[in-house]
Structure 1
Amino acid sequence: MKTFPLNLEELQKIIKEYPTPFYIYEEAAIVNNIRKLKAAFSWNKGFREYFAIKSTPNPYILELFKSEGCGVDCASETELMLADSCSFYGEDIMFTSNVTSAAEFKKAAALNSIINLDDPSHIDYFIEYVSLPDLVCLRLNPGGRIYYKDKLIVDFEDHKFGFTTEQFINSVKYLKEKGVKRFGLHCQFGSHRNEADYFEENTRKLFEQVVTISKSAGIQLEFINLAGGVGIPYDEAAPETDIYAVSASIRKAYDEILGAAGLLPIPLYLELGIFMTGPYGYFISSVMHIKKASKTFLGLDASTNSFMSPSRYSNYHYITVAGKELKKPDCSYVITGALCENRDRFATDRLLPPVDKGDILIFHDAGAYTYSHGNNFNGRLRPAELLLCTDNSLRVIRKAETAKDYFATLDYPIKYGD
């Protein structure tokens, strides 16, 4: 059974001041997880986490990573603005984009970010607008397909990201002629995986290509960015991700492949999002209606425009009925919102304790790729975000949207009523 850091009375007190729906994040748990990650990779001198802003784009969350010495991974001009506003600068920022505009490259260059290029054609495009920096990173598409237990995980043959190995080598040589002296390599091969053997097998394959690239291009890489891909267990019966085991598996491949080739030391970077904040965020909503038809439908005061993970990814999220944690889950419910979409479902045929109108539902593992995927379909407004601070105080880190926010970009007289 997954747990929530507040009891029913404490949650009800919060709801009196901040009505549902809302997100709430645990500051202490996020900070502890950052420290655990750094401890797991302490064997690698220069290791660094570049938190994926796209997963939880809130400056108060970014401040936690800043305070712990992490960098940030940005993929757009507005994410760069957010990083800048939180005082990330220079090699604190990894700008990993694709189909990139001149304005985005200019902003990234103005912040002295690490530029991670996705395509050989981007090199001359970049030079057209911005001077090449001393350090450039290239994103590698290693080719082939990755399977795990007969399941296709990544099909690099159908992947829109990255340089082929040949393009990578030729581009390094071209960039060296243009005056670039330092190079990084970026490659993401994970996809919500947490098995140590998966990471050992695929880091090994990547490091073998690193050896080929380094020797063919005549370079010693400044870093290897393994990007994201470390997942979390959504099912309450699954074990937690063992980041120490994942790290040990990567270290084995690192020592045996890169060490044998005489390429060590090389700092490793990660761009984790879900692993960093996913388990430490919760989506809170209240039951507004109970409809009994062929099935029993719980109608919440939120819709999946605010919490899309269950409908967009078909992700299972464990649900706690606040105050009924110890009651037997022997009632089946379809949990829905108010969108004009039959797919507007948080869960289907979910077994919960008997639910009454006004009960509070807590959706677990909602700390990443949740609010950031929100939208305003049907004119539904996005909820507030709250931070449960280390001292148990509560901080509003994003206000709930209002109708005025929704209409703010229209040049038209809107009738708001009384």
Structure 2
Amino acid sequence: MPRKPPPLETLRCIAEEIPTPFHLYDAEGIRENVRELQRAFAWNPGFTEYFAVKATPNPSILRLLKELGCGVDCASYTELLLAHEVGFRGDEIMFSSNATPAEDFLLARELDAIINLDDISHIDFLAEHGGIPERVSLRYNPGGDFRLGTRVMGNPAEAKFGLTPEQMPVAIRRLQELGVEEFGLHSFLASNTTDADYYPTIARMLFELAADLHRDCGAEFFLVNLSGGIGIPYEPDQPRADLAYIGREVERAYAETIVPAGMDPLSVVTELGRFITGPNGWLVATAVHEKDTHKHYLGLDASASNLMRPSMYGAYHHITVAGKEDAPAERVYDVTGALCENNDKFAIDRALPEIEIGDLVVLHDSGAHGHSMGHNYNGKLRSAEVLLEPDGCFRLIRRAETPRDYFATVAGIDVPEELGAPEHDPLQRA
């Protein structure tokens, strides 16, 4: 079952101070998931979790993760700036991007981040814009279908990311000519899978590739990045990934490939965002309208601008009604937002308890790729973010946008003060 949100009393207390909708994060749940991951890979002395900033790009969340020994994975100039401002330095930052602008590479070099090159053409481009460091990682795309047993998990040949098998030795030799002394490998072949064999399979593939390149090109390796891909059980009764098993099987693959190749020690790292913060976040909204036409609609004060995944992917997010978690699910609703798009629906034909206007409705598992995928379509304003500690204390870690924020980047309009901003900045009060 999905991780339980706080009780109605706690949600009401927060909503009295911070109007809905807001994203709420469970600080202790995030800590527990990081510690579980670290235990699973404790056999590897160089293990580091490079948290995918794109999942939850909030400074308070990143500081929490830094305290736990995590690094960060960045994909843009702005994410690099955010990581630096939070206090990440040097090889605590991995930069994995594609179609990369020159200024992004220049900043990554200035910050001495580990650069993970997505394309063979980026080698000479990086040489011109920032220079080639002594350590470089390469993103690998094996092509074809990616299978676990007889199941097709994805189609790497259709993915825009990574170098082909034929390009890898060419890239290694070119980088050696330019002074690279140590290499990393990275690959991402499946998204949001709870299948425990995914990481061991991709690990063995990358370990064997590293051993081949070490033998054929004399390449020395310092890191293998298993990237993301470990998902969370969005749906009730969906299995959760078994991290202990995953860690043991990756260790087995390491012992059977890296150790015989004489390449031990080699850091094995991960790049998980969804697994760490996803189940530890909820979008809390208020029921504001009910409509009976050809279907029965429940309208929330949140919309796809606050949680885009259902409208974008048809993704499932579990929904509960605060205080009615154990009530029978006797009504069938389409749960919607107010955008002028028919796909602005959090759920279609979802059986839920009878909902009254004013009820707090909780959308589960929004802690990753929730707020971060928000947008301003229809002039909707992105919501607040709140961090909850185990003692029940909470604090605002991002205030909700105001009309003044929305118009701040355009010319020719002046929003009256009383319409554009709160009387006081709640972040300053906090």
TM-score tier after normalising by the smaller chain length: over 0.9
Instruction: Give me the whole-angstrom Cα distance separating, in 2, the residues matched to 1:308 and 1:299.
Output: 16
Please state if 1:190 is matched with 2:229.
Answer: no
Checking the alignment, whether the CA contact within 8 Å between 1:21 and 1:302 is kept in structure 2 is: yes
Q: Which stretch of structure 1 is more off in the superposition, 103-112 or 250-259?
A: 250-259
**Structure 1: gaps (5+ residues):** none
Instruction: Give me the whole-angstrom Cα distance separating, in 2, the residues matched to 1:164 and 1:95.
Output: 20
Distance 1:415 1:62, change over 3 A: closer
- How is 1:46-57 mapped onto 2 (pairs within 5 angstroms)? 46-57=46-57
Aligned to 1:393: 393
Please state if 1:208 is matched with 2:208.
Answer: yes
- How is 1:89-128 mapped onto 2 (pairs within 5 angstroms)? 89-128=89-128
Residue 258 of structure 2 aligns to a residue in which SS? helix
Distance 1:148 1:312, change over 3 A: farther
Aligned to 1:132: 132
Deviation at 1:190, TM superposition (A): 3.0
Aligned to 1:84: 84
- How is 1:379-390 mapped onto 2 (pairs within 5 angstroms)? 379-390=379-390
Aligned to 2:6: 6
Q: Which stretch of structure 1 is more off in the superposition, 86-95 or 194-203?
A: 194-203
Instruction: Give me the whole-angstrom Cα distance separating, in 2, the residues matched to 1:398 and 1:230.
Output: 27
> Which whole-Å deviations, capped at 9, do the CAs of 1:204-263 have from their partners, x for residues lacking one?
233222221221111221010111110011111123221111212222222222233333
How many equivalent residue pairs?
A: 418
Residue 214 of structure 2 aligns to a residue in which SS? helix
Checking the alignment, whether the CA contact within 8 Å between 1:139 and 1:187 is kept in structure 2 is: yes
Please state if 1:161 is matched with 2:180.
Answer: no
Instruction: Give me the whole-angstrom Cα distance separating, in 1, the residues matched to 2:119 and 2:49.
Output: 24
Please state if 1:292 is matched with 2:292.
Answer: yes
**Percentage identity across paired residues of the two chains:** 46
Q: Which stretch of structure 1 is more off in the superposition, 354-363 or 247-256?
A: 247-256
- How is 1:257-276 mapped onto 2 (pairs within 5 angstroms)? 257-276=257-276
Instruction: Give me the whole-angstrom Cα distance separating, in 2, the residues matched to 1:164 and 1:64.
Output: 37
Checking the alignment, whether the CA contact within 8 Å between 2:20 and 2:284 is kept in structure 1 is: yes
> Which whole-Å deviations, capped at 9, do the CAs of 1:255-295 have from their partners, x for residues lacking one?
22223333322110111010010000000001001111222
Distance 1:391 1:380, change over 3 A: same
Q: Which stretch of structure 1 is more off in the superposition, 353-362 or 209-218?
A: 209-218
Distance 1:140 1:2, change over 3 A: closer
**TM score, norm. by length of structure 2:** 0.94
Aligned to 1:40: 40
Aligned to 2:226: 226
Which residue identity does 2:336 align to in structure 1? T
Checking the alignment, whether the CA contact within 8 Å between 1:196 and 1:249 is kept in structure 2 is: no
> Which whole-Å deviations, capped at 9, do the CAs of 1:25-46 have from their partners, x for residues lacking one?
0111101111111011001120
**Structure 2: gaps (5+ residues):** 420-430
Which residue identity does 2:275 align to in structure 1? F
> Which whole-Å deviations, capped at 9, do the CAs of 1:289-347 have from their partners, x for residues lacking one?
11112221001111111111111121111111001111111210000011111111000
Distance 1:303 1:5, change over 3 A: closer
Which residue identity does 1:413 align to in structure 2? I
Checking the alignment, whether the CA contact within 8 Å between 1:132 and 1:180 is kept in structure 2 is: yes
Q: Which stretch of structure 1 is more off in the superposition, 167-176 or 374-383?
A: 167-176
Residue 222 of structure 1 aligns to a residue in which SS? strand
- How is 1:310-389 mapped onto 2 (pairs within 5 angstroms)? 310-389=310-389
Checking the alignment, whether the CA contact within 8 Å between 1:58 and 1:397 is kept in structure 2 is: yes
Instruction: Give me the whole-angstrom Cα distance separating, in 2, the residues matched to 1:177 and 1:56.
Output: 38
